[in-house]
Amino acid sequence: MLADIAERRRPAADALKDWGLAHRFAGSGDRAAIASLVYDGLRRRASAAWIMGQETPRAVLIGMLRLQRGLAAPTIASLFNGGRFAPEPLSAQEQERLANGSLDDAPPEIAGDAPDWVLPSLQGVFGGDLLPELRALGRRAPLDIRVNRLKLDRDEALSRLAHLAPELTPHAPMGLRIPLGEDGRGPALHIEPEFIEGLYEIQDEGSQLATLLSGARPGETIVDLCAGGGGKTLGLAALTRNKGRIIATDADPRRLAPIHERLRRSGAEAEIRTPRAGRARADVLTDLDGTVDRVLVDAPCTGTGTWRRNPDAKWRLRPGSLALRVSEQAQVLDRAAELVRPGGRIVYVTCSLLPEENDAAVAGLLKRQGERFAVVAADEVLAAGTPGLAPFVRLTQQGLQMSPALTGTDGFYVAALERRA
């Protein structure tokens, strides 16, 4: 599967699905264990190959077991015993590299397992923290849920979910963190009775915080312009306690498909406006132009902030992909600018760490709109959401950046702009 993913530049989930269909005899436990090996191999693809002196999938797997899972050389050798279903024994060269291979002289793109062409941009964001942040992006992501305050509070949820041994998330006031097993797998939360009842949603703490930082208030008219599956739409409804008018839409109508069931389950109230597909597609928000109090733009982006969850994505990323996303971000920000009323706000969010998609996108809107908009100071944005978060974010020229090493979340960026006239 590692070879298939590398050679065909395809998503890991697709390769795993195809393998499962071709190997139906494999049980669910085996499939999960194999998926865990594949994803960990992708997380440490460059560094594992470096210490092993080869870029083969076998070398990546061996190196990953040492770097990512912390296994000792004798333990790894015992797994490669040539027995039934086991890989061939380690060669003398592999044993030597496993024992003595080092990242001491590795360049940052190798030691940090990242495409070399994004490093100048990331260096501008992280400075001296670049390597720790890259390494944090290579670790497994935690499993977080957002308690649905429309149905219960967090203390009640702790009691109801005691069998999952949840812990409080460090920053999000309605978040809980579910422990993972040694193999990196968590429980099947989507089949828990509490999930089916709509008592919680599976959502990274960073995404929860981004919703809070929107500053949404009861009584406001709020447009979730890139709503997708509706995670932030549900969060906005809970934040306003169903006392605002929330309109959710997305340029891709297919992405909106899950939102209806999620609204039903959670008890959240929102108006869904689904555009027509194809050439007949019309703007479904024209009646709202100039009247909206707050527009949330959870913009399409490269997803560099989610590499912990999607390690295959970083190896597929190319400069052309970034250019496409930058163009899409400009379009959606311009649309948001027409929707918001004077005195209203645009809240711009990405799950990216690249300044081209973050500060530069905001600066582009300001340039195109002249004096119509002004950036809201980051301390004001933080005060509206979670004031205690300030020491755990990086302030940028236009907004704020969360990151795995500093915030303990996916890499979310948030900026707010207020319309002057």
A 10 A CB-CB count for 4 gives: 17
Is 298 labelled a binding residue? yes
Is 252 labelled a binding residue? no
d(CA 11, CA 32): 17
Annotated catalytic residue within 351, 381, 389, 400: 351
Residue-by-residue DSSP string for 87-112: PPPPPHHHHHHHHH--STT--HHHHT
Q: Which residues pair with 416 in a beta bridge?
A: 347
* Dihedral sign of CA atoms 348, 354, 357, 362 in order: positive
A 10 A CB-CB count for 269 gives: 15
Rg over alpha carbons for the chain, rounded to the nearest Å, is: 23
Contact between residue 419 and residue 344 where contact means Cβ atoms under 8 Å apart: yes
| 3-class SS of residue 145 | strand
Pair type for strands 400-401 and 413-419:
antiparallel
DSSP-assigned letter for residue 256: G
Task: For residue 301, indicate whether it is catalytic.
Answer: no
Residue-by-residue DSSP string for 308-363: TT-HHHHHH--HHHHHHHHHHHHHHHHHHHHHEEEEEEEEEEES---TTTTHHHHH
Locus of tokens 């300030």: 390
d(CA 363, CA 360): 5
Residue-by-residue DSSP string for 175-229: EEEEPPPTTS----GGGSHHHHTTSEEE--HHHHHHHHHTT--TT-EEEETT-TT
Contact between residue 47 and residue 55 where contact means Cβ atoms under 8 Å apart: no
Q: Which residues pair with 400 in a beta bridge?
A: 395, 414
Q: Which residues are annotated as part of the binding site for S-adenosyl-L-methionine?
A: 250, 298
Q: Which residues are annotated as part of the binding site?
A: 250, 298
Query: Any idea which residues carry the catalytic annotation?
Result: 351
